[in-house]
Structure 1
Amino acid sequence: MKSSRIESLNLAREGIAPNRELYGLYVTLLNKPGVIQNLLKKLTKNRVRLVCINTPSMEFTRPHMTVFLVGDFTKAYVGIDDFIQKLRQDRTIVSIERASEITKGVIIDTKHFPLTIHDMRVIMMGEIVLRPLVTTIRDKMKFLVDVVLWHTGYAIGIELTKLFKDTYGISKPCDYFAVLAARTIELGWGYVEEVKLNQIARTVKFSIQDLWECSFSKPSEKPQSHIYRGILAGMASVVFKTDMIAEEKMCIAKGDNKCLFIVRPK
């Protein structure tokens, strides 16, 4: 599996423009085809510039879905109150609620909570949190931290294997690592550019750009991935039903252009 990246995806659920006429809305819609397109058409027709929109993943079993959006009404044909009245005339719209300004020109989605991927809660931590967390632990715990992080990753790898099987109904070894690669990108851990699996030899090659735990450990004389290396070993041990290890042959912390992992029998 090889993939190519395009551009960054801004996950911020907010609109920021102190000198513009911004308004935020929570619009609850019937979960049926065409409702999102219809809402966007109404924004365009009234010359409301879309600043931010957050739509949940479609789940067919739910009758409704709530969309958070921030619109710039500075040059709109209608004011916010008239626009809301127009939306209320649409039978596919169940309810509308205004989002409050946090401070001047700043509107943030504070209604959608908790964040989830399917039924699993997700806690987002930016680099401003993760970097001092990792560097402080490394500084205080020294060499012990590498062992702790690896065992943590190994346990995560085992749990992820169970999760992938239950969620996606997969059973082939190649599918487990394909999903792991996709989820690594989806969650912003790193960009997996290549995965090669040899089922006969029971080896896996993982090539990753910008792996977060290594990017926080520059410069270094040795590879710095312990969590992800543990995840690969834990998952591979379950998938191949034997003790596996993951070695980091290249690492961005050392100055390499990517992190390269080789997973093999112990």
Structure 2
Amino acid sequence: MEDYVPLSVLRMVYDSSRKLYSLRIMASIRPSALAEITSVFAKHNINILCIELGARSTSDERGTAFLVVDFTKSAMDVEQIIKELEGLPSVLEVKLMDPSIPGLIIDTGHFPLIIGPWRGIIFRVEFSSTLSKALGEN
């Protein structure tokens, strides 16, 4: 296993041949919460393609999970799964983030980017070097 693995901050999946959905789940932070949530997907043969977890601070009592899930091999529909998730003791809220184009999932729920207490912005390396040169000329 490699010591370092690149992190893609572009959260996007496209496959028009699959039944893809993205969900944002707010849940209580407790030891079994993630296991409860993921077991619903496993039970119904739903593949989790991406999961992003987090809380704003260590003192938060709730956290958010962003998931990209593939229902292609499942007999369930997304509304049935949402109802089942909402019935879990740790789940506070489930939001379906509808794709504007079938099969295209873009994470629009994680904005703005923050770095500690500050808002952040990410530039491609090529852009930042061009910006640096332009600022140096002024």
Q: Which TM-score bucket, shorter chain as reference?
A: 0.7 to 0.9
Please name the residue that 2:98 is paired with: 100
The yes-or-no answer on 1:53 pairing with 2:63 is no
Alpha-carbon contact 1:28-1:64 (below 8 Å) kept = yes
Q: Radius of gyration: which is bigger?
A: 1
DSSP 3-state at the match of 1:103: coil
Alpha-carbon contact 1:25-1:96 (below 8 Å) kept = yes
Distance in 2 (CA, whole Å) between partners of 1:98 and 1:32 is 23
Distance in 2 (CA, whole Å) between partners of 1:10 and 1:136 is 22
Distance in 1 (CA, whole Å) between partners of 2:8 and 2:131 is 27
Aligned-CA RMSD value: 2.4
Aligned positions, number? 137
Deviation at 1:20, TM superposition (A): 0.6
Give the letter for the 2:114 counterpart. Answer: T
Please name the residue that 1:73 is paired with: 71
* 1:224-263 C-alpha deviation (Å, 9 max, x unpaired): xxxxxxxxxxxxxxxxxxxxxxxxxxxxxxxxxxxxxxxx
Q: Specify whether residues 136 and 32 from structure 1 end up closer, same or farther in structure 2 by C-alpha distance, changes over 3 A only.
A: closer
Distance in 2 (CA, whole Å) between partners of 1:65 and 1:124 is 24
Please name the residue that 2:81 is paired with: 83
The yes-or-no answer on 1:12 pairing with 2:7 is no
Deviation at 1:137, TM superposition (A): 5.0
From 114, 117, 133, give the equivalent of 2:115.
117
**Structure 1 residues without counterparts, runs of 5 or longer:** 149-266
- Structure 1 stretch displaced more, 69-78 or 36-45: 36-45
Alpha-carbon contact 1:13-1:54 (below 8 Å) kept = no
**Structure 2 residues without counterparts, runs of 5 or longer:** none
Q: Specify whether residues 34 and 12 from structure 1 end up closer, same or farther in structure 2 by C-alpha distance, changes over 3 A only.
A: farther
Please name the residue that 2:37 is paired with: 39
Give the letter for the 2:43 counterpart. Answer: K
Q: Specify whether residues 47 and 137 from structure 1 end up closer, same or farther in structure 2 by C-alpha distance, changes over 3 A only.
A: same
* 1:155-203 C-alpha deviation (Å, 9 max, x unpaired): xxxxxxxxxxxxxxxxxxxxxxxxxxxxxxxxxxxxxxxxxxxxxxxxx
Please name the residue that 2:27 is paired with: 29
Moved over 3 A (4+): 135-138
- Name the structure with the higher helix share: 1
Distance in 1 (CA, whole Å) between partners of 2:16 and 2:82 is 22
Per chain length, whose mean CA-contact separation is higher, i.e. which structure has more relative contact order (CA < 8 Å, sep 6+)? 2
From 124, 129, 134, give the equivalent of 1:134.
129
- Taking structure 1 as the reference length, what is the TM-score of the superposition? 0.46
Distance in 2 (CA, whole Å) between partners of 1:114 and 1:41 is 30
Alpha-carbon contact 1:27-1:97 (below 8 Å) kept = yes
Distance in 2 (CA, whole Å) between partners of 1:116 and 1:135 is 24
